[in-house]
Amino acid sequence: MIPARYGASRFPGKLMQDLGGKPVIVRTYEAAKETNLFDEVFVVTDSEIIFSEIEQQGGKAIMSKIEHESGSDRIAEAVEDMDVDIVVNVQGDEPFTNREGLEQVLKLFKGDDADKIDLASLMTEIHDWKEISDPNCVKVIVDKDNFAQYFSRSPIPYPRDKNIAVQYYKHKGIYAFRKQALMDFYRLPMRTLEAAEKIECIRYLEYGKNIKMAVTNVQGIEIDTPEDLIRANKALRQKNEIAVNNKYRNFPMVPKVVFGAGSFDQLSSILAAQRKDKAPFIFLVDEVFKNNNEILDHINLHFNDKLLFISADEEPKTVQVDQIVKEIKSEFTNKPSGIIGIGGGTILDLAKAVSIILTNKGSAADYQGWDLVKNKAVYHVGVPTISGTGAEVSRTTVLTGPIKKLGINSDFTPFDQVVLDPNLTAGVAKNQWFYTGMDCFIHCVESLNGTFLNAFSQSYGEKAYDLCKEIFLGNSLSEAESRAKLMMASWHGGMSIAYSQVGVAHAMSYGLSYVLGTKHGIGNCIVFDHLEEFYPKDVVLFKQMVVKYNIEIPTGLCANLTDTQLNTMIDIALSLVPLWENALGENWETIMTRERLRELYLKM
Ligand code: NAD
Ligand code: ZN
């Protein structure tokens, strides 16, 4: 049984954080299953998000009916009516749980003194006084037969005589109970020693139960803090799991694209060929076009086709995707013939996500991450009306979810068809044109200066970079030429990061956006303006562009943040490991410390 509480006090939502493309809790579940030691493995949780995540991955989950004080209570409720002899508790935040430790604990129930054991647990040697004296590390002392005598957050024993060599042990959160012991625990009230130390297993000792300990030397990584998560992601990569995938990715591209001023006219005939009987096309159109007949007249609604106007005032959210899907499903019995997104990055990302969730059960939040989507999406078409994000070519759709801001990155995400008509971008206001255009410029800078650079991303990145310089610093282009070129720069910029990564500006901009809701384009500009130490010559160019177009970059955003807000911002930024690794290399953590990041944010 893996108890999984959603709200952890030190690191809220940690079990749903991304660990090498899967949430921590899924990793723990899979690790427990892979040991092949159990007849059944269940996650027991208070959270519907965790519940549906596990079910989605084909695992077994149980919702607890009652609020619980502890993980043991939670699993006791779950096993009360099950016919089991031994119940093993694996902590949800131990994704590297391995066979060896669990096997040792289970073996105790077959030993000579097995009939004396009410429950068994694990301990590991510790030597570092910093760890011994750390109250977050629970120590245990045992008798000569390894039965636990006491658990404490204090160093036990106290080393009054420094000449006596004592072995200190740290308690590891794996327990195996006889069912009776677990049920007793559930029914017996907490006493003062347990309450004072906040250590569950003291209750057994207080009621005279016998806890036998096994020693293990395997050091897993528990996920208690954002730093642990970073370490864990690194450990996973070292196991080569994602390194392999990332190195030679088999990358889908947009298979069909039509380009040119006026090409939007083609949309109707393109769609006609894709229409399935009575299944409608759903158009998701930026609200800014509500009264724009030139655009609306070209959207020929047929039969039961539906047009939804959507505001791009805020970054797209997983709940918004779920809502649109619900609306479509409640109105139509047939799966739509297609989803057409007409707008900027916000609307394009929504269109991609809606087309995915129409064929994949659950919430959009369940698919934030790498390659979590199982079924092919509904046919989807992207028609950008502002250039720069590269969302029209990319393999991701960036969404803000309940606990993270992360794309649905999958082979099914890219559009089946894109229409690139520069005429559609004619009405974009100057500031917005600049912010979104700079997204493209920054994609190129981050890709071209990154450690992941390769000939594929370089060839696209250099072209887009040159186009940006021509558009934003040159003087020779007509307005129409400039719009057409920016459309292609956006495309190439998107292709460039497909086979590499973005960098410092994007990592920090995600932090701003998560905490303050700052939109992507302007957020990148706010950050990039202060990144001269990382991208010296390009920040100079950027500043020239700002002056040339008389753009105002907001300042003072972080001046009045609370400590909690600032820390969340730092956590979100630091969790984007691949971006930092691309920008600063493998040892990025020594370069970009929390303190340095804090100082940078405080400048903004
Ligand atoms: P946007 O879609 O948020 O639109 C910005 C503003 O411009 C909105 O007010 C919109 O109504 C308006 N607008 C759009 N077209 C217009 C037109 N033709 N005339 C007048 N106004 C128009 O802006 P964006 O910068 O294109 O997109 C930002 C979003 O893109 C963010 O949510 C970001 O996360 C996402 N993004 C996605 C990817 C990806 O690969 N999927 C990459 C980068 C950014
Ligand atoms: Zn971007």
Other beta carbons within 10 angstroms of residue 132's beta carbon come to 18
pLDDT digits (tens, 9 = 90+) for 489-525: 999 999 999 889 999 999 999 999 989 999 999 999 9
Residue nearest atom 40 in ligand 1 by C-alpha distance: 391
Report, as an integer, the average pLDDT of 315-322.
Answer: 96
pTM of the predicted protein model: 0.67
Report, as an integer, the average pLDDT of 94-121.
Answer: 90
CA distance linking residue 278 with residue 269, whole number of Å: 17
Query: Which of 250-259, 360-369, 457-466 holds the top average pLDDT?
Result: 457-466
CA distance linking residue 359 with residue 526, whole number of Å: 38
Burial 217-233 (b: 16+ CB within 10 A, else e): eeebbbbeebebbbebb
Percent of the chain with pLDDT over 90: 73
**Atom number, ligand 1, closest to the C-alpha of residue 394:** 40
Residue 521 near ligand 1, beta carbon < 6 Å: yes
Question: Which of 371, 376, 96 is closest to 246 using CA atoms?
Answer: 371
pLDDT of residue 306: 96
Mean pLDDT of the chain: 92
pLDDT of residue 247: 60
Residue 439 near ligand 1, beta carbon < 6 Å: yes
**Atom number, ligand 1, closest to the C-alpha of residue 313:** 9
Residue 391 near ligand 1, beta carbon < 6 Å: yes
Q: Is the dihedral of CA 490, 496, 500, 504 positive or negative?
A: negative
pLDDT digits (tens, 9 = 90+) for 469-492: 999 999 999 999 999 999 999 999
pLDDT digits (tens, 9 = 90+) for 110-121: 998 999 999 999
Taking the centre of ligand 2 as the mean of its atom positions, its distance from the CA of residue 248, in whole angstroms, is: 23
Residue 346 near ligand 1, beta carbon < 6 Å: yes
**Which residues lie at CB < 5 A from ion ligand 2?**
439
pLDDT digits (tens, 9 = 90+) for 531-562: 999 999 999 999 999 999 999 999 999 999 99
pLDDT digits (tens, 9 = 90+) for 4-40: 988 766 677 889 988 888 899 999 999 899 888 999 9
pLDDT of residue 100: 83
Tokens (6 digits) for 251: 């990358």
CA distance linking residue 409 with residue 395, whole number of Å: 6
Q: How confident is the model at residue 73 (pLDDT cuts 50, 70, 90)?
A: confident
**279 with 335: CB under 8 angstroms?**
yes
pLDDT at 241 over 50: no
pLDDT at 321 over 50: yes
Q: How confident is the model at residue 219 (pLDDT cuts 50, 70, 90)?
A: low
pLDDT at 578 over 50: yes
pLDDT of residue 246: 53
pLDDT of residue 174: 84
pLDDT of residue 245: 45
Residue 316 near ligand 1, beta carbon < 6 Å: yes
pLDDT at 240 over 50: no
pLDDT of residue 244: 37
Question: Which of 563, 564, 573 is closest to 597 using CA atoms?
Answer: 573
pLDDT digits (tens, 9 = 90+) for 148-201: 999 999 999 998 888 888 899 999 878 999 999 899 888 899 999 999 999 988
pLDDT of residue 233: 82
